[in-house]
């Protein structure tokens, strides 16, 4: 894995546009994150096309189902040899154990704890009484016990989780520069704050993709790290 922790979230529906964006900023990112929008539209073919750029691929599929189904999905993407794959920690310990067992040796399996688009009120509305910090810590502990490589959390929780899981691999989205738009993200920090708190990977999408000059934006963010 490169020393640059920035993974560009390529949430774009068109393959040619995604390829062009990735090429444009390739020298200022450490990897490419492909999510549901991209994978549902372009599947294995799309992943293989982007692999041609030579950057590690993070498949952010956030798998969440019964253990057998998630393990089968992991086996189906094994051939793509992704560097990182996400599942949801709320799928439970057995699901996480089976997902890890089905993944390739060189694939890091990380579990989403609490989505960065949720705050305490949102958790309350789905019946979770804990605040995002408590819930993320609980799910990080469960993910570690299930043998996963790490977790996804916001920059608010990564420092506390890092203290209890020293060699964990921590993916942090919800990153914004101080004057940036929050959009649908509720628990945000700056890329530098997340890195200083222990993030292994910084997931950045709109602050780069949506910039007037994505290359300049990627370069500027990299310079803050």
Ligand X SMILES: O=c1ccn([C@@H]2O[C@H](COP(=O)(O)O)[C@@H](O)[C@H]2O)c(=O)[nH]1
Strands 31-35 and 201-204: unpaired
Q: Please choose, out of 43-51, 109-117, 122-130, 193-201, the segment that lies near ligand X by the rule CB under 6 A.
A: 109-117
CA distance 173 to 201: 8
CA distance 61 to 13: 15
Contact call for residue 200 and ligand X (CB under 6 A): no
Per-residue binding string, ligand X, 168-197, x by CB under 6 A, is: -----xx--------x-x------------
Please give the angle made by the CA atoms of 200, 84 and 57, to the nearest 5 degrees: 100
Contact call for residue 31 and ligand X (CB under 6 A): no
Q: What are the distances in angstroms from CA 142 to CA 85, 118, 151, 166?
A: 17, 20, 10, 15
121 carries an active-site annotation: no
Per-residue binding string, ligand X, 33-52, x by CB under 6 A, is: --x-----------------
Closest CB to ligand X among 100 and 156? 156
Per-residue binding string, ligand X, 123-162, x by CB under 6 A, is: -----------------------------x----------
Which of these is catalytic: 16, 24, 52, 65?
Answer: 65
Which of these is catalytic: 16, 24, 60, 98?
Answer: 60
108 carries an active-site annotation: no
Cα-flanking dihedrals φ and ψ of residue 203, to 5°? -90, 120
Query: How many CB atoms within 10 Å of residue 103?
Result: 21
CB of 86 within 8 A of CB of 63? yes
Contact call for residue 112 and ligand X (CB under 6 A): yes
- Which residue's Cβ lies closest to ligand X? 205
CB of 88 to ligand X, least distance (A): 10
Those residues whose C-beta lies under 8 Å from the C-beta of residue 202, and which sit 6 or more positions away, are 5, 6, 7, 172, 175, 191, 194, 195, 225
Q: Please choose, out of 93-101, 108-116, 137-145, 155-163, the segment that lies near ligand X by the rule CB under 6 A.
A: 108-116
60 carries an active-site annotation: yes
Per CB under 6 A, the list member of 9, 25, 70, 85 interacting with ligand X is 9
CB of 202 within 8 A of CB of 172? yes
DSSP readout, 41-55? HHHHHHHHHHHTT--
- What residues are designated binding site for substrate? 11, 33, 60-69, 116, 176, 185, 205-206
Q: Could you list the residues that contact ligand X (CB under 6 A)?
A: 9, 11, 35, 60, 112, 115-116, 152, 173-174, 183, 185, 203-207
Catalytic sites, residue numbers:
60, 62, 65
């Amino acid at each position: 894995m490169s020393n640059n922790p920035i993974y560009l979230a390529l949430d774009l529906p068109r393959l040619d546009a995604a390829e062009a964006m990735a090429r444009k900023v390739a020298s200022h990112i450490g990897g490419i994150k492909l999510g549901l929008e991209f994978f549902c539209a372009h599947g294995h073919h799309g992943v293989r096309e982007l692999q041609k750029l030579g950057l590690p691929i993070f498949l952010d599929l956030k798998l969440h189902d019964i253990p057998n189904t998630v393990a089968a999905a992991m086996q189906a993407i094994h051939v793509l040899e992704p560097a990182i794959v996400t599942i949801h920690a709320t799928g439970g310990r057995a699901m996480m154990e089976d997902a890890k067992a089905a993944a390739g040796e060189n694939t890091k399996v990380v579990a989403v704890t609490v989505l960065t688009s949720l705050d305490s009120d949102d958790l309350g509305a789905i019946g979770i009484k804990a605040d995002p910090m408590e819930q993320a810590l609980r799910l990080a502990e469960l993910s570690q016990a299930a043998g996963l490589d790490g977790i996804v959390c916001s920059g608010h929780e990564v420092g506390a989780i890092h203290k209890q899981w020293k060699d964990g691999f921590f993916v942090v989205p919800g990153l914004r520069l101080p004057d940036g738009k929050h959009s649908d993200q509720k628990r945000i920090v700056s890329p530098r704050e997340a890195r200083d708190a222990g993030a292994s990977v910084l997931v950045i999408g709109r602050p780069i993709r949506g910039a007037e000059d994505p290359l300049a934006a990627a370069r500027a963010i990299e310079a803050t790290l």
